[in-house]
Amino acid sequence: MCGIAGDLRWEDNPKEHKVQAMVHRLRHRGPDDSGVWQSPDKHCILGHARLSIIDLSAAGHQPMVDPVTQNAIVFNGEIYNFLELRKECIQAGERFFSDSDTEVMLVLYRKYGIHFITRLRGMFAFAIWDSTQKCLFLARDRVGKKPLYYALLRNGIVFASELDALVNHPDVSRDMDDEALELYLQLQFVPAPWSIYKAVRKLQPACYAVYNRNGLKTQQYWDVNYKPKIKITEQDALDALEAKLKEAIKLRMKADVPLGALLSGGVDSSLIVALMSGLTSESVKTYSIGFKEDVFNELPYAKTVAEQYSTDHHPDIINGDIEPLMQNLIRHYGEPFADTSAIPSFYVCRTARAGVTVAMNGDGGDELLGGYPRYWLKPQAIVLGRFFGQHGSPDKLATLVAGLPEARSLPARARRKWLLRFANPELQSMMAYAASWNDPEREALLGRKSSVLHEWRRSWFEKVEAFADNPIDRMLWIDNRAYLTGDLLVKMDIASMHCGLEARSPLLDHELIEFCASLPASLKVRRSTGKYLLKKLAERYLPKELIYRRKMGFAPPLSGWLRGSLRKLTEDVLLDRRLMSPFDQNVIQRIMNEFFEHGIDHSARIWSLLMFGLWHRYNLNALEGAS
């Protein structure tokens, strides 16, 4: 787990000190070692900040160069099947000089070219300079656990693991992207390939890119197809799920440093801890975070699991004094990011880092087998949704999404209920992103009509037709490609890496994802119970009252914080016209008045404005400092 950076120029050679500066800004991701390498022809410089997990010796130093081809790599992530791949290479006559997974990737690239990526089982973002082909090969893992940002320049390309490092490169513009801002207001995050900066783009998950003198070409190398279904009994499916999840956990328990688990008290992380406990003779180190307010606090549930499996448990409580953390959030995310669960995620990762370097988590369970309420459809809704979903054009569905939040009259509300529950339940996967600002409210705030959202929605509805043919699977496909990769995994990468903690997610193993995609909808949702098969598996290890309790999520007491300890900061930022530009100040003041004076819960909107304003201040200060 590391931070990577690089600079490639075809005319003027890149400057080493600029790459070193980017690496320096990534040292929180890799505090153990760092390095910079320049190609013999001077065109390419690669930089790396290392968090040592596998092969802690100097032999694992990066950038790493293949002695046979002189190809060079910088790599962020873990390849869980690298020992198997290494053995295969040795049997074919290859020699290795380290015990690292990075060297295995270099050898595989030499043998198979860019298609070696399909053989990797893990999380990764990497760059390989091909000294023979004179090109740069960039890639991200299948679900997008590891980030990669890049900026195309007049005669080259610059890339890095985090936005803050990249835009501090003096040749990368900090001009704001209006489309990205619009998407942020709707989604509360900026989805790939956009970033908040016009000049910077995100390489999308499951994609690789090749950059040479002809420019940049990207290619998707993996997707999940929910249409082919296997015939399997519930018992066989349950046993197969258990075997595959155990294997995924076992692979991720390989490390040369202390390892533990983040235990929220929810069914996903609790099951991970239970299975981990059965795979080791040592007590698993577990870490939990909670709140003083009981309605938001899951610590009692985490304690139940910790006691059942005799873990070395470390709970902690967040109070409302989070303002000192705010600037850290802004700097590390590098753009507006309004998922409030980033706060407890930061805290629990920091707590865990005091005792371990690697931590398992339960990310992905909801997107694996349908854990959110929008998935909990009745059988007749699945049948009707299958029929109507085949007769709705992507353009029409995108238009419907825009109008449904505005339904006020009884006929309009009845139509919305019919559409969301029976005819087109997959609309809920787009409706879920309207919690902050719906279309008319966002347009009033920006003072202009939408320029990008309709096409963004339409593209998802168009793509999903090829991969899923019932409403549950269509929602799963969309959520895995949009919400999971754009929000949840971004959140956990930054929350964990800000303190040099490697987070591993067994439920996001791509072979496990493919297996669950092949299961019939009845094993995912049954009798309005989401994650049906996963919960049946959990019954073998956990008490039923924990498994079937009300879903709480990881949300903090935001409304109380904004009206209390964060009120002064919120008012200072939101009433500053310079920081709130280009938003309409009258809309902001109305929202603030309704929230603070009349008790209307606009906390999500206030928070999205606050996170934008704090980012804008950080960006303006950087621009002024550079001038």
Convert 392-420 to b/e letters by CB count within 10 Å (16 or more is b).
bebeebbebbbebeeeeeeeeeebbeebb
CB 341 within 8 A of CB 255: no
Give yes or no for a contact between 251 and 512, defined as CB atoms under 8 angstroms apart: no
* Burial (CB count within 10 angstroms: exposed 0-12, middle 13-18, buried 19+), residue 235: exposed
Q: Which of 390, 381, 364 is nearest to 479 (CA)?
A: 364
> Residue 161 and residue 149: Cα distance in Å, rounded?
6
Amino acid, res. 316: D
8 Å CB contact between 361 and 505:
yes
Choice among 2, 207, 499, 516 that is catalytic = 2
What sign does the CA torsion over 290, 292, 294, 295 have?
A: negative
Number of neighbours of residue 567 by Cβ within 10 angstroms: 12
44-50: strand order across its sheet: 33-38, 44-50, 2-9, 156-160, 149-153, 200-202
Q: Is 2 annotated in the active site?
A: yes
Please name the residues in contact with 36: beta carbons below 8 A apart, sequence gap of 6 or more: 16, 19, 20, 23, 45, 46, 47, 48, 63
Structure tokens of 42? 């001077």
Q: Give the chain's largest Cα–Cα span.
A: 74
Amino acid at 428: Q
DSSP string, 314-376: EEEEE-S--HHHHHHHHHHH-S----TTHHHHHHHHHHHHTT-SEEE--TTHHHHHT-SGGG-
DSSP letter at 255 equals -
Q: How far apart are CA 559 and CA 567, in angstroms?
A: 10
The answer to whether the beta carbons of residues 495 and 342 sit under 8 Å apart is: yes
Which H or E run includes 137? strand 135-140
Residues labelled catalytic: 2
